[in-house]
Structure formats: structure tokens, C-alpha cells
Structure 1
Amino acid sequence: MDVTVCSTGGTIASTDAAGGATPTRTGEELLEAVPEIDEYATLTVEEIAQTPSYEMDADTLERIGDRVRELDGEPTVDAVVVTHGTDTLEETAYYLDVTVQPDTPVFLTGAQRRPDEVSPDGPSNLLTAVRAATQFRERGAGGTFVAFDEEIHAARSVTKTHTSALEAFRSVTRGPVATVDRDRVAVHRTPRSETRPLAATSLAATVFTIKSGSCVAGELLEAALERGADGLVLEATGLGNATAGIAEGVREAIDAGVPVVVASRCLEGRVVPIYGGEGGGERLREYGAIFAGDLPAQKARIRLALALEAYEDETGIRDAFAE
């Protein structure tokens, strides 16, 4: 079993410093902290980046995608593990699942505690990823997954739900694909990509996210249009509702040819245009907004940016969210 580990930084590689913790540990050093990992696979390490994930930019994300795509095409590589910061780990996982759709299983993992803190969780999460890779490869499974706290989650549904707890990631509507315990990897449903791919890789489109809430006016939408937004994601309340001011901005954006995708700030459930009034979901639907189902705003933003590259017409962009 040959596994390539791609290191990109994050808490798993960070140590404390006078100006705040930053990534300093190499991928080789991360593996040295888990000597038993060699019992499960032959490991090759590559350094792709050394960045905290909250600073992840489009160039780095696309570079990760390019390398994973190359590794997916190499017959000698049985699985890929990407070490990554937890803040935006789910977005990188989703990007890979949309753009690469790997036949080789790809696992993203990281840590909530640094290697220089008491009881760091990075070594355990790395071991979880490699053990799951062995089992998934035996099943001929492909797709992108998040390996964390002895659970394996599909990229489509996983999200970070806690700022600091070790059990940081959940698949709030579907549950984990598998769990890893002391003696086996227990698979709960077929490991595969659960995302519809798009024929695009570039994140060059300018997409802004606007969040609705009590008393929020529409000035941010106006500012986004003035800054040349190619698309907008509205993180709405409840089933997909917004304030009257935001709804008016949505209407103006769509009239100007800028697509608006509506997601919900709720952790669970789908957006559905039910309510009327000046800012209800039904009003947004009448204006031409696209509803993102149960896709959260952070993933809808990535999907919209890719859809803007893949399609030149509104029909194509709208169809990209018809999952």
C-alpha cells in the first residue's frame, strides 16, 4: 500500500512563537511523530504549502488540486493524504471533490492541538487517515474524505462545528462514512464521491458572501456590485429568507446579470422558497435567485466560482446547483 502525504501547513504543523503560532513542521516531521504508521503503508511525503488554512488563497488551492489530480493518475499511488489546517479544510475537500473526482481515495486531515501542546491530536488523525486509506483502497473506493477524530466524512457533507474541540467535524445530515476504532475500520455506507462534478478548476471569478440577520441592510450587496462581483452567495436565515434591504439588493444584482445563490446559516436542512413578504424566499425566487439546497455558504461560494468558469449562461449556472 503506497500512500503519498501532501503537507500544506495548518495547526497540525504549527508551533508557538512570539507573534503567534505558525506552521513550522515539515511533512516528514509529522510522520516521525507516528512511527506505527509504517505498519499500514509505504509513505512518500511532498511539501505543497506551509500556510495556515485561514490564509488559503485560490492559487494555493488550485495548486493542491493540480497535484492531487496528478497523483490520482499515477498507478503506483494507492491513496493520498493531505495535511491541512482545520479552518477551511472542508472547503479544500469540497473543491477537490468537485474538480478532481479522484478514483484514488483522498483524505484530508489536520489537528486542533499543535504538536507542541499537551496531547496533540495530529498523530492520531494521521493514523486514522492512513488506516482508512488501506480499507478504502481494498474496496476500490474513490472520492474525497475528511479523516478526523477516528471518523471518516464525505467531502460533500462535512463541516467544522467546533472552534477547539477534538471532535471538530460532523456530517450534520448524513453522518460519517466510516469510523476507525482500535482493531478495524467500520464502513457505514459505500465510500464514494457524493458531489456532482463541474468541468472547471479556476477560482478566478469574484464571488462575495453576504450574511443576512436582524436589521441587516443592503449596502454590502451594493458595495459588492460596485467592486465588480461576478456572483453573490447570500447566507440567508432559516429556509432561505432575508431582510427587505438585502432582497432589494438581490433583485438589483440579478437584473444586472450577477447570479445570486441562496444558502442558509442553519447547520441542518435545505433552503426552500416558502415565505413571501419583502424578503422571503419566495420573493427571492421570483427575482431569479438560485437555491443551494443543503449546501452551506462556504461551499456554495466555491461551487458558484467554478460554475461561472464552466458555464457562460444562466441555465448552466442554475443547473450546477440542481443536486
Structure 2
Amino acid sequence: MSHETSYPIGTKGIKWGDNEKQQWLAAQSKQRDFFSDVLPQIQTLAMGDVFELETYGELNYLQTYPLHALKTKHWQQDKPSVLITGGVHGYETSGVQGALRFARLTAADYQARFNLVIIPCVSPWGYETINRWNPKALDPNRSFFEGSGCEESELLMAYLKQYPDGFWVHFDLHETTDSDSSEFRPALAARDAIEIDHDMTPDGFYTVGDSENPQFDFQKAVIDAVRQVTPITQADEAGEIIGCPITQEGVINYPMTKLSLCGGLTNAQYSTTTEVYPDNPDITADECNRAQVAAVCGGLDYLIRGVTL
């Protein structure tokens, strides 16, 4: 169902131009600090036994944000490679902190089996301003294509080209928050002069697979691991989650590459986009972070058990 939008920027029925985008940018403010919350964790991990630090670019938005990857030190070409991305949408906190928690507490358990690359925070400006978009009012998670103009996405794409053999597995860690309905969907409707459903925030954890490569059993393994930590999203009366039919409990599928989503970036054989719901008052931030870790471990454990490596 579509809803009228009354977003305070722009004129209904007219797409935003540069003036409206500048108004939107002027309304954003720093609410937390990437340089104290996130960067020291990345640097500490790079000084340990598991990871080395690779800097793949920087963003210059009034201040300079370095873009870092954590890569396992003992890289072997005969091992399958795993990519974990967090903070593609910077406001989705457990995507960032969950990736860091996995790197800190659990990655060592898997380094003998897999090469690991972890990008903890794709969008540091979005992290600081608790935002879905970048300063150009572009959504990084709809911008993974050449010429998108979204630096967060383009720099990550350029970095990953150094891995010619690609990635066998990709976990893209996200959240679905109440602010999706209260702020980000209304802003999108205003920016693009469209009408969209603003009331699509499900309670619980779910995953988004690739409709072109759904990997039913892999997704189920992720869900089964996460249900030990936090509740799984149940379908609505129409059998849907966020307007999309479920394929099994807690799982929907999107055409990842067609939509230029991060989850389709690598064309990995096994890929999942996690969605944590952090706004349930009974769910803690720690639980959200642990759910992200459980998702990664559940997927990797499934591959170790059931697939010849």
C-alpha cells in the first residue's frame, strides 16, 4: 500500500535537484564518532596474529575518512575466500560492530579453512551521521555499478578487483530499523517523487538471498544458527516480509545484481544479506551484534559440514 509523503524538503511530485540535496545535507549532523568507535578497533585487529590492514581509499567529506579492509595474513590460493561487509548503510550499527566482533572473537577459528576479507565500515560518514545515504543523497547499497557516482561503492568495487578469483562466500551485514519507515523511506519518496510503503519494519532477524542463486539450505543454516541468539522474523498475513514473499522461514530473495546491491557485488556462490531488528525494547545491542556473528558462523559451519572445501 502506498502512502502520501509529507517530507519537509522538496515539492511533492518533483524530483530533488541540487538545491534540495544541499538542504538535506545541511540538515545532517554528526551524532557519533567513527574515529573513536570504529577505527581503533580496526587498527588493533591489524596488530594481532590473524589480520593485516589494507587501505583501499579515503572519503573527503569535510574531514577525511580512511577506508580499511582486514585481510587474513596467511592467504592461500587453494583455500576458498570469504568476504564480510558491514556498514554499507552506516546507520546500521550491528553491521559494523558485528563484523568487528566476528573479526575479534571468532575469525581465528576459521582461518585454517578460509581466506577472510572483512570490510567493517563501508560508509563511515553514514556511521557518524546515522544515515542511510552518503552526502550526495546516494544510497551506497543501490550503487554497486560502474559510474554510480557513489564513492563508497566505487572504491569498494575497485578494491575487490585485486581478487581475480573472487569470493566463494559473501556475508553483507545489515539492519532494518524503525527509522526506515519514519525517515529513510519518506526521504526516498521525496527525493525520487514516488510513493512507497513506509510501514515495512518487521520484528526479528531475516535474510535476503539472491533470487538468481537462492541457496535454500545455506540460508536455512544461517537462520537456524541465529535463532539460538535472537528471534526470527515471521511472515505477515500475506506470507511476506517487507512486501516480499518468503521462500522459507525468515528468508526472502531479491535480484541482487539487477538492484546493484552489495550482496550481488561478488557473484559469490553462497551469499546472504542479514537483517537485524535493533529497535525491539527487549533486544540489546550486544544481542544484535551476536546475531550477526551467529549468521556468519552458521553459514561457514554449514559449508564446512556439507560442502567439499
TM-score for the superposition, normalised by structure 2? 0.28
Higher RCO (Cα < 8 Å, 6 or more apart): 2
